[in-house]
A and B are shown apart, each in its own frame.
Chain A
Amino acid sequence: MSHPSPLICLYFQVHQPYRLRDLRITDIGKGEAHYFDDEKNRAIFRKVAEKCYLPANALILDLLKTYPQFSVSYCLSGVFLDQCEEYGTDVLDSFHALSATGKVEFVAETYYHSLSSLKSLEEFCTQVTMHTEKIEQLFGKRPTVLRNTELIYSNELAQVARLMGFKGILAEGADHILAGRSPNSPFVPPAFRLPRKAEALIRKHRPYPRAAKDIHVLLKNYRLSDDVAFRFSDRSWIGYPLLSETFTDWLTASGGHSVNLFMDYETFGEHQWRETGIFDFLRSLPNLWEQRGIRAATPSDVIQMWGKKQTETFDAHQFISWADMERDLSAWQENLIQRSALDSLFALESLVKEVADPALTALWRTLQTSDHFYYMCTKYFSDGDVHKYFNPYDSPYEAYRRFSHAICDLRTRLEAKHSPS
């Protein structure tokens, strides 16, 4: 008798940043400077909508309706939802249609897909609360599982999430922490108290009236996730071409409670083009799973079905993330300009809060989006690979130049409001 098949937990990250326009030093302090490249942001949003969001949502909707055992989960960043309102209500409508099936779970995150968790507990809690409220307002259900930006995670963050009232949190199945254990079981973070001041702060800024008793960590099975997200169309990969039968065999063989497949939604149609057969691959999976008695589950299903079995500890003393081979913060906070940019931004926090101007606060928060810092990454330059990172700008230095001008301008605007004289 073979082992029962694991659950399959599909989770897709859906996010678009507001890219900056070519700001100039001469724009600073004029009071009117617009920071974002509306034209480019609209063009990219529409391109990805046509290639990915709309066709992928149509396919998923069809699958949800056809296969009773199929379900999925999404995290739609707040800045993505804002762009939906600006550039694509058709995209938002298609997510509403998915939500109406009752088989989709929406996961919480910081509204601005931000790096606030690295700099300010209060800001982090506020943005998570903003996001949960937005999701509830749009889809009628308050998220119970949290995913921090790009799976940035630590023990402390798990406790913060628990105190905010979340029952689950997503993280990368980092090898050095798993130390040989399978990522396919839920884990718990080590139990400890946060400083009293921090706990008080969380109580003040959380989406739920009380803390959750327990929190489970669901870990990304990065090998199987990346087989689809990164390697699907790689002709030099030994697994090419990946057939749904083979992949399902691998899922079953992987065993455990649930195989957590976490990836960017843009995998479908944008990172892997339609011509690679990625949509056909996705379409064929639920049918195959149904034949083989495999069922899909959302993160909260996975946790619920885990019950009270004995659970191992996932001990992340230091920050981990799903970025790069390093799976740490280095994609956003490795070099001097990245760190200086984030420091300068959070140096404005108290001024932003004193001034309390909604428009300036929103600008400040939009600048916290992780992508701005990612575009400044120079990690692989020393390998002679100048173009390894995806970047809408010419170079990391161009990214920094625009960002630095935006901060300078925001500072002058805040100061002008603070002491108008």
Chain B
Amino acid sequence: MDIHTLMFGWEYPPHHLGGLGVACQGLVQGLLGNGVQVTLVLPHPSNTAETADMHVITPTETLLKTVHVLSFLSPYDGHVQFRKRAANMPRELTEIYGADLPQAVLHFTAMSVEMTKDTNPDIVHCHDWMTYGAAAQAAAYHDVPLVAHIHATELDRTHFHPNEWIFAAERRGLLAADRIIAVSNYTKQILTTHYGIAPDKISVVHNGSATCTDTRPPVIASQAGEGRPPMILFLGRLTIQKGPMQFLDMAAKVHQLRPDVQFIMAGEGGMIGEIMRRACELRLENVVAFAGKVSNDEAERLYRQASCFVMPSLSEPFGLVALEAIAHGTPAIISKQSGVSEVVGHAFKVDFWDTEKMADCALTILRDAPLAQQLTSEAPRVLQHLTWINQASQVRSIYQDLIQ
């Protein structure tokens, strides 16, 4: 059976800020690999005329069409960030798209429904709250089932202090959907507990890993660091969700016993000033370095250089970054409040608030070479199973189930 899915996305590489774009790309390619035809609708900040047309992006992806909708929406937007960006827009654009977030979303919704009237899909599939309105209207227009995919909830992003308007929009979308795909059991739990969604409406499909296993011989930085001091890595947006403050607390505890250890925090975000102040308060100014936003190549180098990778997220629906670290052979310490901890066996798993234990795990990895070696060599095996082709085939089954 040929299936055509009309998919509403948020971001798509190379223009992406976080895991959502990577996951979206992985899923689209996995679906194409499973013979599913995909039309992808994306908000697009670029102001050029051609992006408003449907076109095939690469010759190999013959089943994929993308529709770019002119919009100033950006993933991970909140009201404040959006207003900041809108303030810098030319006046005529803000008049068209609206100066606040709800208006911009409404505009995106209306535009994208209008632009996909002729696509004739079998199913509509949307990713996270900004697209729910558009997708719900499109599904109603085409009279086909609606699948809502949850990569992150407002509760994850705000550490359970949601913006009520976004929370309500999310909940409306989730209730309207015929099936919800959560990226982890952890997220499913949040949806049932906090959004009141019936558990049997939610299917869990863990994210796949796009990263191939690093085939180069493993480097254990603490042993073969070429004279460099051991380094512990943080990589993620510097927002409350990702636990940068917990990382610093952990760093301070490691520093007490191992003053030779360096810490690198890669990523950018609104909390940078606060984080730097805290690092100074903890007297860590000489051992913590801020790398800013890093390219894929730079990230790869950091992973390979790190003695261990710490993901102290307060609430992480999945946490693709942990899979990336693992793919590069970096021993990982991951928050128990994460989806990725459900699929990764060869790692330390710690409650995000227990920074003392986090430090203890890091120190154990630094002390015990066989432990570091085993984490390096064994953890990447999970990636052989967790491919996007495998994960997308589960999504295809969900489609089939709904269409019948």
User: Which residues of chain A from 213 to 268 have any CB-CB distance to chain B below 8 Å in the complex?
Assistant: none
Annotate A14-35 by CB proximity to B: 1 below 8 A, 0 otherwise. 0000000010111000000000
Residues of B within 8 A of A395 (CB): 345, 348-349
The A314-367 residues at the B interface (CB cut-off 8 A) are: 335-337, 339-340
Question: How far does the Cβ of B338 sit from chain A's closest Cβ, in whole Å?
Answer: 14
Q: Are B364 and A384 in contact (CB under 8 A)?
A: no
Cβ–Cβ contact A386 & B345, under 8 A: yes
- Asked if A398 and B343 sit within 8 Å, CB to CB, the answer is no
Q: Is A394 an interface residue (CB 8 A)?
A: yes
Q: Answer whether A381 and B381 are a contact pair too, CB < 8 Å, given A25-B257, A395-B349.
A: yes
Is the Cβ of B382 less than 8 Å from the Cβ of A404? no
B360 touches A337 (CB 8 A): no
Asked whether A401 and B385 contact (CB < 8 A) given A25-B364, A335-B374, A336-B373, the answer is no
Asked if A381 meets B345 with Cβ closer than 8 Å, knowing A25-B363, A401-B361, A401-B364, the reply is: yes
CB distance from A89 to the nearest CB of B (A): 36
Instruction: Given the known inter-chain contacts A25-B360, A335-B378, please indicate yes or no for A378 contacting B370, CB distance below 8 A.
Output: no
B346 at interface by CB-CB < 8 Å:
yes
Give the residues in chain B near A336, CB-CB below 8 Å.
370-371, 373-374, 377
Indicate the size class of the contact surface on chain B. Answer: 20 to 34
Complex formed: what's the CA distance from A309 to B257 in Å? 67
Q: Is B226 an interface residue (CB 8 A)?
A: no
Decide if B370 touches A381 in the complex (CB within 8 Å): no
List chain B residues, Cβ under 8 A from A398. 348
Contact between A381 and B368, CB atoms less than 8 A apart? no
Q: Which residues in A have their C-beta under 8 angstroms from that of B357?
A: 22, 24
Give B162-184 interface residues, CB cut-off 8 Å to A: none
A405 and B344 alpha carbons, distance in the complex (Å): 24
Q: Which residues of A contact B374 (CB under 8 A)?
A: 335-337
Residue-by-residue, is B353-395 near A (CB-CB < 8 Å gives 1, otherwise 0)?
0001100110110011011011101100110010000000000
* Residues of chain A within 8 A of B381, CB atoms compared: 381-382
Looking at chain B's contact residues, the main secondary structure is helix
Q: Is A397 an interface residue (CB 8 A)?
A: yes
B347 within 8 A of A: yes
Which of chain A's residues have a CB closer than 8 A to the CB of B363?
A: 25
Chain A residues, CB < 8 A from B375: 397
Question: Which one, B343, B360, B373, B385, contacts A24 given CB within 8 A?
Answer: B360
Once the chains are docked, how many angstroms separate the CA of A106 from the CA of B257? 50
Partner pick for B348 among A26, A382, A397, CB 8 A cutoff: A397
Report the minimal beta-carbon distance from B77 to chain A, rounded to whole angstroms.
Answer: 35
Known: A25-B363, A335-B374. Is A381-B257 also a contact (CB below 8 A)? no
Asked if A80 is an interface residue, CB under 8 A from chain B, the answer is no
CB < 8 Å neighbour of A381 from B360, B377, B378: B378
Q: Pick from A26, A336, A378 the residue with the most CB of B within 10 Å.
A: A336
In the complex the two chains form, is A394's CB within 8 Å of B378's CB? no
| A311 to B361 alpha-carbon distance, docked (Å) | 54
Cα–Cα, bound, A397→B357 (Å):
13
Which of B344, B356, B378 is packed against the most chain A CB atoms within 10 Å?
Answer: B378
Residue in A26, A340, A408 whose CB lies within 8 Å of B370 = A340
The B65-90 residues at the A interface (CB cut-off 8 A) are none
Q: Contact string, A399-412, partner B, CB cutoff 8 A, digits 1/0?
A: 01100110010000
* Contact between chains at B385 and A384 (CB < 8 Å): yes
Q: Chain A residues near B343: list those with CB within 8 A.
A: 384, 386
Q: How far is the CA of A58 from the CA of B367 in the complex (A)?
A: 50
How many whole Å from B256's CB to the nearest CB in chain A?
A: 9
Task: Flag if A401 contacts B360 (CB, 8 Å).
Answer: yes
Residues from chain A with a CB closer than 8 A to the CB of B349 are: 394-395
Query: Closest CB of chain B to A377's CB: distance in Å?
Result: 11
**Least Cβ–Cβ distance between B176 and chain A, in angstroms:** 33
Query: Is the Cβ of A384 less than 8 Å from the Cβ of B382?
Result: yes
Closest to A396 in B: B345
| Neighbouring B residues of A22 by C-beta, 8 Å | 357
A387 CB to closest chain B CB (Å) equals: 9
Which residues in B have their C-beta under 8 angstroms from that of A339?
Answer: 370
Chain A residues within an 8 Å CB radius of B371: 336-337, 340, 397, 400, 404
Tell me which of A25, A386, A395 has the highest count of chain B C-beta atoms within 10 A of its own C-beta: A25
- Residues of A near B385 (CB, < 8 A) are 384
Q: Is the CB of B364 within 8 A of A381?
A: no
Interface flags, B308-346, vs A, CB<8A=1, else 0: 000000000000000000000000000000000011111
**B367 — which chain A residues lie within 8 A by C-beta?**
25, 404, 408
Task: Name the B residues within 8 Å of A396 (CB-CB).
Answer: 345
Cα A405 to Cα B381 with chains together (Å): 27
In the assembled complex, which residues on chain B have CB atoms less than 8 Å from the CB atom of A401? 348, 360-361, 364
> By the criterion CB–CB under 8 Å, are B345 and A405 in contact?
no
Task: Check A404/B368 contact, CB under 8 A, given A378-B378, A382-B381.
Answer: yes
Q: Which residues from A are CB-within-8-Å of B345? A: 378, 381, 386, 395-396
| Central interface residue in B367, B368, B377, by most chain A CB within 10 Å | B368
Q: Which B226-283 residues have C-beta < 8 A from chain A?
A: 257
Within the complex, what minimum Cβ distance (angstroms) separates B372 from chain A?
A: 10
CA distance A336 to B346 in the complex (A): 12
Name which of B364, B373, B378 has the most chain A CB atoms within 10 A of its CB: B364
Q: CA–CA, A340 to B375, complex, Å?
A: 14
Kindly name the residue among B348, B373, B374 whose own CB sees the greatest number of chain A CB atoms within 10 A: B374
B360 touches A397 (CB 8 A): no
Which of B257, B347, B370, B385 gathers the greatest number of chain A CB atoms within 10 Å? B370
Residues of chain B within 8 A (CB-CB) of A384 are 343, 382, 385
Closest to B381 in A: A382
How many angstroms from the CA of A381 to the CA of B381 in the assembled complex? 9
Most buried by B among A339, A386, A405: A386
B residues within 8 A CB of A404? 364, 367-368, 371
Which B residues are CB-close (under 8 A) to A335?
Answer: 374, 378
Q: How far is the CA of A386 from the CA of B360 in the complex (A)?
A: 23
Q: How far is it, in angstroms, between the C-alpha of A293 and the C-alpha of B363 when the chains are bound? A: 64
Measured in the bound complex, the distance between the Cα atoms of B370 and A30 in whole Å is: 25
Chain B residues with Cβ below 8 Å from A378 are 345-346, 378
Q: What A residues does B361 contact at CB under 8 A?
A: 397, 401
Extra A-B contacts (18), CB below 8 Å, given A397-B348, A397-B361, A400-B371: A335-B374, A337-B368, A337-B370, A339-B370, A340-B371, A378-B346, A378-B378, A381-B345, A381-B378, A384-B382, A395-B345, A395-B348, A395-B349, A397-B375, A398-B348, A401-B361, A404-B368, A405-B364
Supply 30 A–B pairs (Cβ within 8 Å), ascending by A.
Answer: A25-B257, A335-B374, A336-B370, A337-B370, A337-B371, A337-B374, A339-B370, A340-B370, A340-B371, A378-B345, A378-B346, A381-B346, A382-B382, A384-B343, A386-B344, A386-B345, A395-B345, A396-B345, A397-B347, A397-B348, A397-B361, A397-B371, A397-B375, A398-B348, A400-B371, A401-B348, A404-B364, A404-B371, A405-B364, A408-B367
